[in-house]
Chains A and B, each alone.
Chain A
Amino acid sequence: MKKKNAMNKHMQGMLAIFIAMFVALGSYLTYSMVTYGDEWFSTSYNPRISAARNIADAGSIYDRNGTRLAWSEGDKRQYAEDGDMRRAVSHIVGDVHGKSLGAENYFAKYLYGMDKGILDKLETGSRGADVYLTIDAELCRYIYNNMEYNGAVVVMNYQTGEILASVSAPTFDPSTLGEITPEDEEGSEYLNRVTQGRYPPGSTMKILTTAAALESGVTGMEIDCSGSAVIGGQKVTCPTDGGHGHVDFTSAFERSCNIYYAYLSVELGGSNMLATANQFGYNYEFKFPDFNMLKSNFEVSGESGDLAWAGIGQYTDLVTPMHNMLVSAGVANGGTVAQPNTLLDVRYGTSSIYDYSTAQFRSIMSAGTASTLAGLMRGTVDHGTATSADIDATTMNGKTGTAEFVENGQVKNHSWFVGYSQDASHPLAIAVILEGAGYGSRYATPLAGQVISKAVELGY
């Protein structure tokens, strides 16, 4: 009798485990479909989309000003006549062959009328909706024409989260896609570097390190920079000959002193830095509704040398241009980052079925920290490393960066600039990266200045 009861007890226990297992099945299924369902559905791998892809009935894609970027003529998909514009927006618009991921994929459900109920379809016909993007095609073309290197430029309205321009080079021509083109050989032209390219952030990482220092109140450090120092067995150098001399918290930021920041990172400690990085959205799986974006990477090892390098944007740090732009947008917006969107409107004929709304992505720092950082970034443009971004059209704040990478055994530099217009009537945040161009202050920074001037000229 005893034995049998014990057996029943065990059976009851197993029953509880089985219930837990099946509840887990149901919850995981629901969770994953609610969280990822739309994204999975719209991937180019989904044969249902290509099956439903009746090009003849597909809607058109416009930019924010109504410039037509993609439309259907019979069974053929047409793209903007202007060749430069077509190439400039090719990543953001995408293509119908599933080579790249753009509006053609992400918004397929609107373009092909898949969001329409079957009943609506019978009523209004099977034509899909027209999609209006937040980008300005003219600004994109301007950027494309002025990019002398491969890389990426992204401009966002930091108050509303509208992406005004997003250009990735090298680019491709969607109108010749599907035919064999010699450029196909490289293969990376389909990659949208804005959201899928991960680069070491270099000195732009100092925004994060500075925020960590400000939030922990470690701002009193002063050092004499001799151009190189050994920290935790690893040599950290400043590119300036002879070093920066005596630097404090402010001048170290404005003049981008690596050694100061290497010491500062070690002083702040790994867990502190990691916490700030996570707060900034590093190591976070972005789930934006309008596009996919790769995760940015920040990790710490036990070695203080690694931490020193991590604090100046090297070691294993990786960031996408979009994410780096969002950081400066956070500084601009008092610490709060608006969620970036590319979809402005969806219309069936003249009736809109989509309401653009500004959502908050997350708060990455306190308002006080943001305002101090704003001052430092102003100083950087005014009299620091980013003076070439000091334009007449608006007041620019920013930070340059030079990210080292090794290619074919040769050390090269990516040129970075992240910044924003301080003027609330021109709420523009920008990130520029030019691959292998050289120092940030020499290449990315002037381009950023030009782009913002152009944007202001266009009325943003």
Chain B
Amino acid sequence: MILKRYGAGLILTFMILFLLTAMLLLSFQDGPFDGGVFLWGVILAAVIVLQYNILSAVFKHIDRITLLIADFLCIIGFVMLYRMNPEAGERQFMWIVVGNIAMVAALIIIKRVRDFGRANWWFMLLGILLLGITLVLSTSQLGANNWLKIGPFKFQPSEFVKVLFLIVTAYFLSTRQRKRDMWPYFLFTIACVGILVLSTDLGAALLFAGTFLIVFYVGTGNLGITLLSIGAFAGGAYASYYLFDHVKTRVEIWQDPWAAYEGKGYQIVQGLLAIASGGVLGTGLGNGMPTSIPVHETDYIFAAIAEEFGLIVAVALIAFYLVFIVRGILIAMDARAKFDKLLVFGSTCMLALQSFIIIGGVIKLIPLTGITMPFVSLGGSSMISSMMLLGIIEGVAQKNGELDEAELAEMGGGIE
């Protein structure tokens, strides 16, 4: 019995081809050939090829498709960012490298660790502290107070609390049988979501609440408490609609962004116009005006991609996320330990919800809440945390593979 691990070399080749041709095209954007632009493409290509080959040699059971999809999302984000603002592209390159280091670190840690045990209490404390400090010290940025400045560095603590939250969630749901033993976890969740709502970081609040609901339901199968929580969150959302003006405006803008064009509807309308201007095939890389969309480097990068690459690629991007999610959940289902199962499932859920919330907001399927697009948007915090979630998924995939291999070996089989 041999289980074959498919090399995804072909996919990698196409990805590199895409990256190189896109950068080659961009190197002609300002007239004569600019070797510097193309060089960035070559460097990123080298990083990705190295990363893929080293990782799949050292950890032969990691999920290669998931890894490659994340890489591809990084690539298309990098190309788009570089096209809109070369300086942003260069910064994003740095974040991709740092993100990869974080991913490998997460992979190794998750492979070694059982469930972090008592450390979870410290994680909870750290999480609340990070969010709390941000709330107190934050500088306001685009309506959401979610930045923390330390010296020259600006980062978004909520991105890192995401990872802590997932570990704590998996720990409590896998080690506690009785609901009354989970109280510290419930309080932690409520505190996180509460602080995020107070910081007006609604996107992150929605993300935490949604992930809690889904993972709690899957982990315990307790429909009662899940429904109760859904009720509580719905009530909270309803209340915040009346309590906070910015929530109310967002819903109103969602219903008719054109009416509020002069004000807050501007960015939604500009996003839709960009997508509409691209049409099915797009305007061609460099031919559109994606820079006329507000926040085109982070929240609205999807609209920028849709404008220049077209509807087909935009839908393909959605499909890439879906394939990533399907594979993530299959890894979770395959995991042996309950902690691993819930951790991978939670990570996948969080990425799924995050990409759904931002893409849905941009295309006006749901009200817009500012949040980054995993692996694609510009930003160090977001890239590092998304990469850590990927590392968690890959770490458990590696664990699964090793166990499979051991079991197959017993029967004289193996994994190639």
Contacts and interface: CB of A to CB of B under 8 A. Distances in A.
Given A12-B333, A24-B365, A28-B365, A18 B272 contact: no
Contact of B356 (A10, A11, A25, A40): A25
A442 B314 CA distance: 58
A399 B214 CA distance: 61
B332 A11 contact: yes
A181 interface: no
A110 to B, nearest CB: 15
A10 B329 CA distance: 11
Interface residues of B, number: 44
25 contacts: A7-B218, A11-B341, A18-B325, A18-B352, A21-B352, A22-B321, A24-B365, A25-B318, A25-B356, A25-B363, A26-B318, A28-B365, A29-B306, A29-B311, A29-B363, A29-B365, A30-B311, A37-B276, A41-B276, A41-B277, A45-B258, A46-B277, A47-B289, A48-B292, A51-B289
Contacts of A25: 318, 356, 359-360, 363, 365
Contact of B311 (A33, A36, A38, A47): A33
Given A22-B325, A25-B360, A33-B276, A14 B349 contact: yes
A244 B77 CA distance: 74
B60 interface: no
B317 to A, nearest CB: 9
A46 B273 contact: yes
B46 interface: no
Interface in B220-270: 221, 258, 261, 269-270
Nearest to A32: B363
A47 B288 CA distance: 11
Nearest to B307: A48
Given A25-B356, A45-B261, A11 B365 contact: no
Contact of B333 (A8, A19, A30): A8
Contact of B288 (A19, A28, A37, A48): A48
Interface string B323-351: 00110010011000010010001000100
B322 interface: yes
Contacts of A275: none
B322 A28 contact: no
Contacts of B329: 11-12, 14-15, 18
Contacts of B272: 32, 36, 40
A29 B332 CA distance: 30
Interface centre among B218, B269, B325 (most CB of A within 10 A): B218
Nearest to B291: A47
B293 to A, nearest CB: 9
A12 B364 CA distance: 28
A448 to B, nearest CB: 34
Contacts of B284: 118
Nearest to A52: B289
Contacts of B275: 29, 33, 37
A7 B339 CA distance: 12
A268 B322 CA distance: 52
Contacts of A18: 322, 325-326, 329, 352
A7 B221 contact: yes
A30 B315 contact: yes
Contacts of B319: 22, 26
Contact of A26 (B261, B273, B279, B315): B315
